[in-house]
Structure 1
Amino acid sequence: MTTAHVENALSRLVDEASVRDTVARFADAATRGDVARFRATWAEDAEWTIGERVHAVGVDDIVSTFRRLRDERDFFVQFAVQGPIEISGDEATTSILCHEAARGPGETYYRNHSVTADRLRRSEKEWVFTSRSFQYLWLDTSPFTGDAFKLPAGF
């Protein structure tokens, strides 16, 4: 391998790791309800779609939508399994398999399996979503059992 090939391969691996990190930071922020961290995963002009019910355009609308969906939950967790990543210059696409579960407010329940269609752009610091669309594969809103626990501060 030539030096140029090694440098290109290394650059691609760094970009792929950064895209994976953005996906992981999104899932972590959503699970923790961390609005600032959630906001940092988005471009200012981004678009977010969940099924046919949720559509937000621009980071302020996205954050407002996130707060509406997340703030009153007793419990929420998102598991994200990284799919293939395609990178072209300063833009990337990827697809994620997700499982989510939530309870609250009150006696409302939510479990799903979904797949995402994601577009990202390289920013000054990291990769950020320009478009994120969740398509349900399975959705269950029936009650489930179990106890919810708040994460301790700093955990």
Structure 2
Amino acid sequence: MAERKRVSFAMRRGMLAGAGASAALAFAPSRASPAVGEDFDTFIAVSMKLTGRAAFDPLVAARLHAALLRADANFADNMKRLDHWLATHGGTPSDVVTAALQATQPDLAKAVGSVMRAWYLGVVGEGGQAQVVAFERALMFDPVRDMLTVPSYCRGTPADWAKKP
């Protein structure tokens, strides 16, 4: 009888350990390899030219790229056209590029805005279709990251940010 209890206890302990490991994996952040391919490379090249950055977090880049592709059926094509435009007109700050494109190619000007909003705010889409893809890793926090803690939640009491019902 004692042997049977030992086996039963060992089985339960093993099942609990397995369940715990499964739960941990289910809620762990995805570390899948970043997207690869010509469209992704073009997105990164355009992003580097528009932001003036030499590198990006690969996980954030993959997630932003996937979300931008879902949000706009013409996104990949617009990135190719924009990459060509930047190659022939020079990589200048995004506001100058947007102003130059606004009159002649408004769809590319909008694509510039989408890319910049995605990187700096971590948001893809607009209005009710907006999706937060990256918050703590959004580029808007980089200038102050060394001095301020990036907020991951609303600080203070509800009285600081909302009225009582």
Q: TM-score, normalised by structure 2?
A: 0.30
Higher RCO, Cα 8 Å, sep 6+: 1
Normalised by the length of structure 1, the TM-score is 0.31
Instruction: Return the structure number with greater strand share.
Output: 1
